[in-house]
Amino acid sequence: MSFSFPALCIDDFYPNPDEVRKFALEQNFYPADGGTYPGKRTDHLHELDEDFFNYFCKRFMNVFYNYEHEEVNWVISSNFQLFPPYKGNNETALNKGIIHRDMAICAGVIYLTPNPNPDSGTSIYHLKDNVLPKQLNHDLRFDLHTGKEVDDEAFTKMQDANDSKFEETIRFQNRYNRLISYDAGNYHRANSYVHNDQERLIQVFFVEQVGSDGLPLDRWRHWS
């Protein structure tokens, strides 16, 4: 598979992370319809504060493009997401994400919890032997995310079967105000929802379209 964005890690992304965190926690958070993701998310950032949203987009995309010498536009969605661990601070299968891909061209996270559990970051995976895993029992995941009772053993069995098809290639630890991003075609997951005595606050974002003279890795291949 040919990827268009590199895996990326930027520490101290925001010059004012405490203000961003305060702004995030002032918002209303809502559960996902049908439980498609854990915890709760805010409305889209462009609806909450258009100036802040545009600032974020320009700051992130400036990593790849020089606005003084080229025209570039994009379609990006972003939300704040907040969630506690399931069943307390227990390192169980319920408290780590399912390996998956996103419907975008690039995706990423900004970690916004001070003094985090470093193991509550994100990992990137490669599919072993190019053999796709069997269809997951998504009902278990959706039930978990909507607060229904889920059998630990059944969930662990599902997750272990899925995990066995992948090998971890990159592990990003959680660090306050760290941005990580990756081509959305990469398989990835949150490594842990356990976050000491705090809820895990992140900013998630998805780059859905880019209008330019080329996507980052396509441009790199051109000059390789």
Reading the chain (224 residues) residue by residue, the pLDDT tens digits are 578 999 999 999 999 999 999 999 999 999 887 767 888 999 999 999 999 999 999 999 999 999 888 899 999 999 999 988 877 667 788 888 889 889 999 999 999 999 999 999 999 999 888 776 666 666 787 788 877 888 888 888 888 888 988 999 999 999 999 999 999 999 999 998 887 778 899 999 999 999 988 888 888 887 75
Q: Of how many residues is the chain composed?
A: 224
Place of tokens 């705090």: 198
Query: Can you tell me the distance from the alpha carbon of 71 to that of 67, in angstroms, rounded to the nearest whole number?
Result: 6
Across the chain, mean pLDDT equals: 90
| Residue 59 contacts residue 13 (beta carbons within 8 Å) | yes
**What distance, in Å, lies between the first and last C-alpha atoms of the chain?**
18
DSSP 7-30: -EEESS-SS-HHHHHHHHHTS--E
Tell me what pLDDT residue 35 has: 66
Q: Report yes or no on whether pTM surpasses 0.85.
A: yes
